[in-house]
């Protein structure tokens, strides 16, 4: 949904897990080490320029905290007329405050919830949804996929000057589950109420963030008497790191069981996205080939079976041989050129190892165009086509910033009657730059928590959805990870679906409809 930030991984986490008691003054996530000045956000996640909030290094007093407090929750009765049915529901825009171990307020975490009228709450599923970034609000999933109202992400709706007109969403998940969209601190209207720099460090870290989101989920369940309800978690993009960690924390720290985890275009392991890992080239090759083939007509994953076999077979073997083997290098470079449509001379110069940015620029360079990162089937003009350095943004994500922000603010303040002061942050560069991805030898990953949560609860299920043309988080990366899971987490419990489209594959009507059916089947 916007430009990538830098692609180098900071090292792994030294974060102390949150231990929260079931009481009103819950503790916030424990501090993690401060990020080094050179720590940068890895590739493979949502992130985009915006204005976030950072505090000064002085403790907050209660009066200061109250000045920053969000307004009381606002609940309204709503109704949407959809094909074949009308849904009546309660919509609530509000926040949950979290505290430190001394009972001092730290942050107000905003949420928007939709609960169907007349449902048996004890048996009615409730799903908690968040996006990624780090630094993204949940507006993408709310207004692009699951919420009762939808904003067009395609055609005339995919330009900055598009009117932010929300329409009833025929593919809303509200038919079969109540919905709670969570905005982590620094995104949406969520904010710190303390000015402590230590608080920022606690929340802007891999485990600290997941612990805070899990705490908010438990607090919401208590607030609305929904602890008996079947519970699900859904996350997009960096939500692939956050989601499994949230579920694991709910299981072990919050005393909350989860029936299923839904991940949309997730990143699960940053080791595969940068540095010297050759898996980054294996993972992205089928997506690059899909982009080339879709230029000639519709493409499905089945049409890429030959590319997947090559990527996991001969291509990988030639990569392992390295550039010291000139025959292997020439062989794979020429094969990559034939699959992607990129000039063979360019492919040989790059040894058949295309960085995402290089592919995006070289694919249609003769016409001065670049592809999207979130949806590489979308092209836009390169503002500096003659430059030897990359100076382009993302034509598949950046145009959505203005209409989506306006739609979120208009719905919240006018239709839901919740009017916080301050700005709404759709994507916060400040949060992303401040994020502590960890220090040490282990990069951020959530495969450990995936294995643990599936092993702990044999009834818990996992559903992953990806877009064919997504270069931010290529689908083959998730497939390879799922293939490594033990037999107890097999295909009857862990399912991967791949659809035409990009990172927000749900922007396409057919893909959104198909994925909704999979989510409904998971919860029925």
On whether both 318 and 200 belong to a single domain, the answer is no
On whether both 165 and 287 belong to a single domain, the answer is no
H or E stretch including 462? strand 461-467
- Which of 360, 393, 426 marks a domain boundary? 393
CA distances for 363 relative to 104, 116, 289, 336, 376, angstroms: 54, 47, 11, 12, 10
CATH number assigned to the domain comprising residue 177: 3.40.50.1820
Distance in angstroms (rounded) separating the CA atoms of residues 134 and 241: 10
On whether both 317 and 361 belong to a single domain, the answer is yes
H or E stretch including 231? strand 231-236
Domain assignment present for residue 440? The answer is yes
pLDDT at 354 over 50: yes
On whether both 382 and 465 belong to a single domain, the answer is no
- Which of 362, 393, 424 marks a domain boundary? 393
pLDDT at 59 over 80: no
Q: Which residue has the higher pLDDT, 65 or 75?
A: 75
% of residues, the chain, pLDDT over 70: 84
On whether both 102 and 175 belong to a single domain, the answer is yes
On whether both 133 and 178 belong to a single domain, the answer is yes
Q: Which pLDDT score, from 0 to 100, does residue 479 have?
A: 97
Condensed to tens digits (0 to 9), the pLDDT of residues 383-401 reads 766 666 566 676 667 778 8
pLDDT at 4 over 50: no
Distance in angstroms (rounded) separating the CA atoms of residues 161 and 376: 22
Domain assignment present for residue 480? The answer is yes
Domain assignment present for residue 234? The answer is yes
| DSSP code, position 27 | B
Give φ, ψ of 117 to 5 degrees: -70, 145
On whether both 225 and 93 belong to a single domain, the answer is yes
Condensed to tens digits (0 to 9), the pLDDT of residues 197-231 reads 888 888 999 999 999 999 999 999 999 999 999 99
- Which of 393, 418, 433 marks a domain boundary? 393
pLDDT at 32 over 60: no
Q: Which pLDDT score, from 0 to 100, does residue 367 have?
A: 83
* Mean local confidence (pLDDT), 476-500: 94
In this structure, the strands spanning 369-371 and 379-381 are: antiparallel
Average pLDDT, the chain: 86
Band (16; pLDDT cuts 50, 70, 90): very low
Domain assignment present for residue 79? The answer is yes
pLDDT at 40 over 70: no
Q: Which pLDDT score, from 0 to 100, does residue 67 have?
A: 60
Domain assignment present for residue 246? The answer is yes
Count the domains in the chain: 2
Condensed to tens digits (0 to 9), the pLDDT of residues 123-165 reads 999 999 999 999 999 999 999 999 999 998 777 766 787 788 8
Give φ, ψ of 35 to 5 degrees: -70, 145
Give which of 106, 54, 8, 123 is closest to 428, Cα–Cα. 54
| DSSP code, position 474 | -
- State if pTM tops 0.85: yes
DSSP letters spanning 103-122: S-EEEEEEEEEEEETT--TT
pLDDT at 513 over 70: yes
On whether both 382 and 428 belong to a single domain, the answer is no
Q: Which pLDDT score, from 0 to 100, does residue 11 have?
A: 36
Joined together, the tokens standing for residue 230 give 């079947």
Count CB neighbours of 202 within 10 A.
Answer: 28
Q: Which pLDDT score, from 0 to 100, does residue 198 have?
A: 85
Distance in angstroms (rounded) separating the CA atoms of residues 31 and 214: 16
Q: Which pLDDT score, from 0 to 100, does residue 41 have?
A: 42
State the residue range of the domain holding 476: 64-272+401-523
On whether both 458 and 485 belong to a single domain, the answer is yes
Distance in angstroms (rounded) separating the CA atoms of residues 464 and 107: 31
Condensed to tens digits (0 to 9), the pLDDT of residues 432-446 reads 999 999 877 778 999
Domain assignment present for residue 419? The answer is yes
Q: Which pLDDT score, from 0 to 100, does residue 365 have?
A: 82
On whether both 414 and 490 belong to a single domain, the answer is yes
């Amino acid at each position: 949904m916007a430009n990538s930030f830098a692609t180098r991984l900071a090292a792994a986490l030294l974060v102390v897990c949150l231990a929260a008691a079931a009481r009103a003054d819950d503790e916030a996530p424990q501090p993690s080490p401060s990020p080094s000045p050179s720590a940068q956000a890895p590739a493979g996640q949502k992130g985009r320029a915006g204005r976030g909030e950072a505090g000064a290094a002085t403790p907050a007093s209660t009066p200061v905290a109250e000045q920053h407090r969000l307004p009381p929750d606002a609940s309204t009765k709503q109704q949407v007329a959809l094909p074949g049915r009308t849904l009546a529901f309660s919509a609530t825009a509000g926040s949950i405050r979290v505290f430190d171990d001394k009972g001092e307020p730290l942050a107000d975490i905003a949420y928007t919830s939709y609960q169907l009228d007349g449902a048996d709450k004890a048996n009615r599923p409730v799903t908690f949804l968040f996006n990624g970034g780090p630094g993204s609000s949940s507006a993408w999933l709310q207004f692009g996929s699951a919420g009762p109202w939808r904003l067009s992400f395609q055609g005339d709706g995919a330009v900055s000057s598009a009117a932010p007109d929300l329409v009833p969403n025929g593919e809303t998940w509200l038919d079969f589950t109540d919905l709670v969209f969570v905005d982590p601190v620094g995104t949406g209207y969520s904010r710190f109420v303390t000015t402590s720099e230590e608080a920022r460090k606690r929340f802007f870290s891999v485990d600290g963030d997941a612990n805070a989101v899990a705490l908010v989920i438990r607090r919401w369940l208590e607030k609305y008497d929904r602890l008996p309800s079947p519970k699900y978690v859904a996350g997009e993009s960096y939500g692939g790191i956050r989601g499994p960690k949230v579920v694991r924390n709910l299981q072990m720290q919050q005393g909350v069981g989860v029936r299923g985890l839904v991940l949309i275009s997730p990143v699960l392991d940053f080791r595969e996205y940068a540095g010297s890992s050759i898996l980054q080239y294996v993972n992205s090759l089928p997506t690059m080939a899909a982009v080339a083939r879709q230029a000639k007509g519709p493409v499905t994953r089945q049409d890429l079976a030959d590319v997947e076999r090559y990527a996991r077979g001969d291509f990988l073997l030639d990569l392992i041989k390295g550039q010291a083997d000139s025959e292997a290098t020439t062989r794979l470079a020429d094969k990559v050129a034939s699959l992607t449509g990129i000039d063979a001379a360019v492919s040989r110069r790059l040894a058949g190892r295309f960085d995402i940015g290089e592919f995006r620029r070289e694919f249609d360079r003769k016409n001065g165009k670049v592809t999207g990162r979130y949806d590489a089937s979308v092209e836009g003009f390169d503002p500096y086509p003659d430059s030897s350095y990359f100076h382009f943004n993302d034509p598949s994500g950046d145009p959505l910033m203005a209409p989506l922000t306006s739609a979120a603010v208009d719905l919240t303040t006018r239709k839901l009657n919740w009017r916080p002061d301050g700005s709404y942050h759709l994507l916060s560069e400040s949060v992303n730059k401040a994020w502590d991805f960890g220090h040490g030898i282990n990069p951020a990953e959530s495969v450990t928590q995936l294995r643990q949560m599936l092993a702990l609860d044999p009834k818990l299920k996992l559903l992953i959805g990806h877009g064919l043309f997504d270069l931010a988080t290529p689908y083959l990366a998730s497939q390879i990870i799922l293939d490594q899971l033990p037999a107890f987490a097999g295909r009857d419990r862990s399912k991967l679906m791949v659809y035409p489209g990009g990172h927000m594959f749900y922007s396409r009507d057919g893909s959104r409809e198909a994925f909704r059916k999979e989510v409904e089947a998971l919860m029925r």
